[in-house]
Amino acid sequence: MRTVVPVLAFAIAAMAPALAVQQAPGVEPGFVSLFNGKDFTGWRIANPAAFSIQDGAIVANGEPGHAYYEGPVGNHAFRNFELKVDVMTRPGSNGGIFIMTEYQDSGWPAKGFEIQVNNTYARDPIRTGSLYQIVNVKEPPARDDEWFTQTIRVQGDTITVQVNDTQTVNWTQPPDWDGGGPNTPDRRIRTGTIALQAHDPGSTVLYRNIRIRLLD
């Protein structure tokens, strides 16, 4: 027994760093969590078959659908805020984080903006960190199979996006903004909620540690 216990203790200690890597980090001071890591309390899912929860993360994979936050934080009506989401993509996957939107039973959200999640999805050249179809990033600032943090900040008429330590977007909505075209009139800065995207059956994207800080 004297030899077994130290060996077991050493093995457990050696495993601890690897286990710690898999755990979601804590919520920063001033931020509030929107996802409890266990179930979809506070969320309303369009196409539930495309979403599951595994190891504390929302896993999006399946026919197109979106998970909308409809919980009590800010009465799910956000205008000036800073949102942080930890994301991991599997190879060849597409996803997205919508902001300032509202629930739809089907289809891509008509209101608000999409912050792109796409490191290697070949059919769409618009990469992670883009303000989709407005400020497009060509080279992904993150890699598949690794967790990265997308930070999205809306203050006044300005949206900024950061992926880990790299800023990818600093865009101010013009006074005469029309949504970017006749097909997207509601793509504008407004009060709304957030939504996580399941893009297609071949894409798997994980979202965890979803937290927000409300700004004045």
- Domains contained in the chain, CATH given: 31-176+184-214 (2.60.120.560)
pLDDT score for 178 = 95
Would you say the C-alpha torsion 153, 158, 161, 162 has a positive or negative sign?
A: negative
| Digit-coded pLDDT (tens) for 133-176 | 999 999 999 999 999 999 999 999 999 999 999 999 999 999 99
| Angstrom distance (rounded) from CA 215 to CA 201 | 36
| Of 108, 44, 107, the residue nearest 76 (C-alpha) | 44
pLDDT score for 25 = 72
pLDDT score for 24 = 60
pLDDT score for 9 = 40
| Angstrom distance (rounded) from CA 117 to CA 96 | 5
pTM for the structure as a whole: 0.88
| Of 94, 89, 211, 64, the residue nearest 152 (C-alpha) | 211
pLDDT score for 8 = 37
Distances from the Cα of 171 to the Cα of 66, 130, 174, 188, angstroms: 25, 11, 9, 12
Tokens of 19: 């286990």
pLDDT score for 23 = 56
| Digit-coded pLDDT (tens) for 166-202 | 999 999 999 999 999 999 999 999 999 999 999 999 9
pLDDT score for 19 = 36
Instruction: Count CB atoms within 10 A of the CB of residue 72.
Output: 9
| Of 26, 34, 28, 68, the residue nearest 210 (C-alpha) | 34
pLDDT score for 77 = 98
**Over residues 77-102, mean pLDDT:** 98
Partners of 88 in beta bridges? 206
| Angstrom distance (rounded) from CA 89 to CA 144 | 5
pLDDT score for 5 = 39
What element of type H or E holds 58?
strand 57-60
| Angstrom distance (rounded) from CA 43 to CA 41 | 6
Tokens of 114: 């999409």
| Digit-coded pLDDT (tens) for 13-70 | 444 433 333 456 789 999 999 999 999 999 999 999 999 999 999 999 999 999 999 9
